Amino acid sequence: MRFDIVTIFPEMFNGPFSSSIIKRAVDDGKIEISLHNLRQWARDKHHVTDDYPFGGGPGMVMKVGPIAEAVDDLRGRFEGSVVALMTPQGEPLTHGMAKTLSSLPGLIILCGRYEGVDERVRSNYCDMEISIGDYVLTGGEIPAMALVDTVARLVPGVVGDIQSTVEESHSGYLLEYPQYTRPADYKELKTPEVLLSGDHAKIERWRRDQSILRTARRRPDLLEKAGLTDEEKQKLKQTMDKEDIRANG
């Protein structure tokens, strides 16, 4: 899969993409990441990419021309790429969205700045708008890094053990179960006995139960999509009722 990132600050990406799984995926040819300075598509002498907003108001707005030419150029060179604008106004980035995007041949990511981009960019040159949360950053570069990281790791072959991406938080609308490793007993903080039992059926059941319970406590909004069985719903209700009794007792 190919990622083309359009930004006025390409140097910001050097650190995050030069280590760990992302770097290995690039070196192995699983993904390709290209950084493009938006200024190369600005046709004036000073390569200006922003201007004052029509109608007045604070700040500057990213100009339509350079971004439009960047999109046309990259789309022409890399057929099948989808254009995504990183913006607080966009659709929230989820595991499901990342999974869908990971099957694409390419993703062109536009990093906004200042007060945002000219509306004609949104209306005519973007396939989607993506947000990483209900807050505002200084630009779209950090969100673009997050998008590349979460999508790239779902590309086949990037993460060696595919099961690790299947069982992690949000992959099935449940948060991931608690994890433990050696030592089994640390300063009287013990690992649950079931994980040391070697009984894989019991371990799998415990992990499922813990995922459901953790999701109910932290992200109850996800449970409706998780497809719980009637037995699981009843068991969860009994557990939560007991917790309420202890909390109010």
| Domain ranges, residue 200 | 185-248
Q: Are residues 133 and 192 in the same domain?
A: no
Q: Are residues 113 and 210 in the same domain?
A: no
Task: Say if 12 falls within a structural domain.
Answer: yes
Task: Say if 171 falls within a structural domain.
Answer: no
In this prediction, residue 160 carries a pLDDT of: 73
Tokens 């949360």 map to which residue?
133
Q: Are residues 48 and 112 in the same domain?
A: yes
Task: Say if 166 falls within a structural domain.
Answer: no
In this prediction, residue 164 carries a pLDDT of: 53
Q: Are residues 146 and 102 in the same domain?
A: yes
Q: Are residues 146 and 214 in the same domain?
A: no
Assess contact for 206 and 195: CB atoms under 8 A. Answer: yes
β-pairing, 2-7 with 82-92?
unpaired
Q: Are residues 189 and 148 in the same domain?
A: no
Task: Say if 170 falls within a structural domain.
Answer: no
CATH for 61: 3.40.1280.10
Q: Are residues 30 and 87 in the same domain?
A: yes
Q: Are residues 6 and 62 in the same domain?
A: yes
Q: Are residues 102 and 34 in the same domain?
A: yes
3-state helix, strand, coil in the chain (%, to 5): 45, 20, 40
Task: Say if 87 falls within a structural domain.
Answer: yes
Series of mean pLDDT values for 10-residue runs along the chain (249 residues): 98 93 96 98 96 95 98 97 96 96 98 94 97 95 98 93 54 88 95 96 96 95 93 96 83
Number of domain units in the chain: 2
Q: What is the rounded distance in angstroms from the CA atom of residue 182 to the CA atom of residue 180?
A: 7
Q: What is the rounded distance in angstroms from the CA atom of residue 42 to the CA atom of residue 51?
A: 12
In this prediction, residue 27 carries a pLDDT of: 96
Q: Are residues 125 and 197 in the same domain?
A: no
